[in-house]
Amino acid sequence: MAKRSHSSIGDVLNQLRDEFPDITISKIRFLESQGLVDPERTPSGYRKFYPADVERLRFILRQQREHFLPLKVIKDRLDEIDRAGGFTAPETEVSGDRSVDPATVDALFEETRRAAQKAEARSASSKVRDPDDGPDDLAASESGMSLTRVELVRAAGITDDDLARLEEYGLVTPAQSSGDRVLFDEEALAIARVCGGFMRHGIEPRHLRMYRAFAEREASLFEQVLLPYRRQRNPEAQARTIETLGELSGLGRRLRTALLRQTVRRTFN
């Protein structure tokens, strides 16, 4: 059986760039660090990407761009596909190798997507009922997601005018801006979705500015606590910074919920 040729990370970048103009070597490395792709390594440490690795990357990027799935859900779906035979490159695949039926892939996606939606709903419901959940993890939100204005509006379920007003009041800001091209990250998507929920109840973006103002004041307070750790340039201090920030954020969320409950009871009783 003939051995398939491999590509360097730079070659992979060139193969994907036509379909994904915003792809970078850093993004590929990030996906590798999250365990979504695992290229072979040479003895000197260089990555060797085979056609199946490139197809795997293409699949991941499409899920982010077209379905806005978080990396955890994509990873679960990848595991299902691996169990079904993994990715193949039709142009170079040798006869006899197993390939994944597109219908199977679609079915796996739908099943995983529905499960993710149910899990998200349960999680959101739980957080509303119980303010004593564990600390927030503010350091684990990066996924490399990049959305255009059109994609953000569609994913958040709002209108372009809604997005413009959210930007006007500083609630949603672009992660990247180059000329006429503006891109938003997953935090912008999360904020836009929540603000969209408020707007459906008649609460306008101008009314939501208080949340941004409070977040900025809270971040300033936390920064004072974390300053001694941030001055230390070592892994232990960095880990302690992340841990403490998560604890403070969790405490802040619990205090806000308790105070809101107290105020609502006094107002409506």
Give the pLDDT confidence score for residue 134 in this predicted structure.
47
Please check whether the two domains, 9-129 and 149-268, share a CATH topology: yes
pLDDT for residue 72 is more than 80: yes
CB-based contacts of 89-97 (< 8 A; 24+ apart in sequence)? 89/4, 89/51, 89/52, 89/54, 89/55, 91/51, 92/4, 92/5, 92/51, 93/51, 94/1, 94/2, 94/4
Averaged pLDDT, 65-78: 83
According to the CATH classification, is domain 9-129 in 2.40.50.140? Answer: no
Of the pLDDT bands very low, low, confident and very high (cuts 50, 70, 90), residue 146 is confident
pLDDT for residue 2 is more than 80: no
Give the pLDDT confidence score for residue 95 in this predicted structure.
35
- What radius of gyration, in Å, describes the C-alpha atoms of the chain? 22
Query: Alpha-carbon distance 251 to 1, whole Å?
Result: 60
Give the pLDDT confidence score for residue 64 in this predicted structure.
83
According to the CATH classification, is domain 149-268 in 1.10.1660? Answer: yes
pLDDT for residue 79 is more than 60: yes
Give the pLDDT confidence score for residue 175 in this predicted structure.
86
Give the pLDDT confidence score for residue 176 in this predicted structure.
82
Give the pLDDT confidence score for residue 145 in this predicted structure.
73
Of the pLDDT bands very low, low, confident and very high (cuts 50, 70, 90), residue 94 is very low
Averaged pLDDT, 5-26: 88
Query: How does the average pLDDT of the chain come out, rounded?
Result: 78
Averaged pLDDT, 177-186: 80
pTM beyond cutoff 0.75: no
For the chain, the domains span 9-129, 149-268
Give the pLDDT confidence score for residue 154 in this predicted structure.
92
Q: What distance lies between CA 27 and its chain's CA centroid?
A: 12
